């Protein structure tokens, strides 16, 4: 489990350029969970993600990963096991690539943790297949690839280390819809195999469809957290903070304005369909076409 306790973080602390990015963050990521982090650009999400594997250390407070406690003066050596446990795919993956070829790049991580070159190369091939990077690109320089392909290489490089926790900072930004769905399904299958996933995203539908826990970040503060079903009931709160809601929730809110009642707002398309079809069944059982004509009209 990963636990943040009163984490504060200031860039260039103690200099005239000091700028505070995180304020008293408390957060818990349970083993096997799928946690989404949402918030506007500049709210501190990437800074928060870099705390997950000790890439940056809290200015104040602590981050505990299983039995390792990271505080401001923790030494690199004490943090190294965390790097193996928690794999972070950065928001700008090109920053993460550096080897001559794609294959070498992906094989670098496991080799760095003591795996033989031959085994690391095997693992690299397996992960490149998994992320769907065509084989003819494996011997190319990673810097010749498109942005989307580079991101796949960076993800394969992290998966090759077989981390217990996979952290993805806006991994689907800029991908076309088909590639985005493929990638989200890949993360879902990784999660289903028991890995913990932490996803930074702008897309409320991805939160609704995949996550079991969500944190809303605003200006370096956690402003809400919980199960997506509960968090997305607070439509007015979310709108007041200029955060959207899933499409299904928005649709249900519009229906609500026309007099259709929902005990609980649906957050996914499947839930919306289920609630609406159960209403329609109810209506058929009642044999009443008059008073529910609006409902009937909308459902047909």
**CB 182 → ligand ADP: shortest distance, Å?**
24
**CB 121 → Mg ion: shortest distance, Å?**
32
Binding string, residues 1-40; x marks residues near ligand ADP by CB under 6 A: ----------x-------x-x-----------------x-
Place of tokens 């392909």: 149
Q: CB-wise, 70 or 200, nearer to Mg ion?
A: 200
**Catalytic annotation, pick one of 170, 182, 188, 218:** 170
For residue 137, the partner it binds in Mg ion, ligand ADP, none, with Cβ less than 5 to 8 A by kind, is: none
Query: Which one of 4, 34, 44, 110 is in contact with ligand ADP (CB under 6 A)?
Result: 44
Residue 195 engages Mg ion in binding (rule: CB under 5 A)? no
For residue 289, the partner it binds in Mg ion, ligand ADP, none, with Cβ less than 5 to 8 A by kind, is: none
The answer to whether 270 and 205 are in contact (CB under 8 A) is no
Residue 41 engages ligand ADP in binding (rule: CB under 6 A)? yes
Q: Is the dihedral angle over the CA atoms 177, 276, 259, 300 positive or is it negative?
A: positive
Tokens of 22: 């995180």
Residue 157 engages ligand ADP in binding (rule: CB under 6 A)? no
Query: Which one of 46, 123, 195, 268 is in contact with ligand ADP (CB under 6 A)?
Result: 46
The answer to whether 139 and 106 are in contact (CB under 8 A) is no
Residue 50 engages Mg ion in binding (rule: CB under 5 A)? no
For residue 11, the partner it binds in ligand ADP, Mg ion, none, with Cβ less than 5 to 8 A by kind, is: ligand ADP
Does the active-site annotation cover 170?
yes
For residue 268, the partner it binds in ligand ADP, Mg ion, none, with Cβ less than 5 to 8 A by kind, is: none
Q: Which of 238, 240, 242, 239 has its CA nearest to residue 228?
A: 238
Residue 290 engages ligand ADP in binding (rule: CB under 6 A)? no
Binding string, residues 88-117; x marks residues near Mg ion by CB under 5 A: ---x--------------------------
Query: Which one of 2, 7, 38, 47 is in contact with ligand ADP (CB under 6 A)?
Result: 47
Query: Which one of 45, 83, 151, 295 is in contact with ligand ADP (CB under 6 A)?
Result: 45
Binding-site ranges for ligand ADP (CB under 6 A) = 11, 19, 21, 39, 41-47
Catalytic positions are 170
């Amino acid at each position: 489990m990963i636990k943040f306790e009163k984490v504060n973080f200031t860039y260039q602390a103690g200099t005239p350029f000091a700028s505070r990015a995180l304020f008293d963050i408390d957060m818990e990521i349970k083993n096997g969970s799928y946690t989404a982090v949402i918030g506007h650009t500049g709210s501190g999400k990437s800074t928060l993600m870099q705390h997950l594997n000790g890439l940056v250390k809290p200015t104040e407070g602590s981050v505990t990963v299983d039995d390792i406690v990271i505080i401001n003066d923790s030494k690199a050596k004490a943090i190294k096991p965390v790097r193996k446990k928690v794999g972070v795919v950065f928001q700008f993956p090109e920053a993460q690539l550096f080897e001559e070829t794609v294959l070498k790049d992906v094989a670098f991580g496991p080799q760095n943790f003591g795996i033989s070159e031959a085994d690391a190369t095997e693992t690299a091939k397996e992960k490149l297949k998994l992320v769907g990077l065509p084989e003819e690109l494996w011997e190319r320089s990673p810097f010749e690839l498109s942005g989307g392909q580079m991101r796949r290489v960076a993800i394969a490089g992290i998966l090759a280390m077989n981390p217990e926790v996979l952290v993805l900072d806006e991994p689907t930004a800029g991908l076309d819809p088909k590639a985005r769905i493929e990638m989200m399904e890949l993360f879902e299958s990784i999660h289903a195999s028991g890995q913990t996933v932490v996803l930074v995203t702008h897309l409320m539908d991805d939160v609704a469809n995949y996550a079991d826990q969500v944190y809303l970040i605003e200006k370096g503060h956690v402003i809400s957290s919980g199960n997506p079903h509960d968090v997305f009931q607070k439509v007015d709160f979310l709108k007041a903070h200029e955060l959207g809601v899933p499409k299904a929730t928005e649709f249900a809110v519009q229906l609500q304005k026309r007099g259709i009642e929902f005990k609980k707002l649906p957050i996914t398309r499947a839930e919306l369909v289920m609630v609406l079809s159960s209403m329609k069944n109810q209506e058929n059982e009642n044999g009443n076409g008059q008073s529910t004509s609006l409902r009937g009209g909308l459902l047909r």
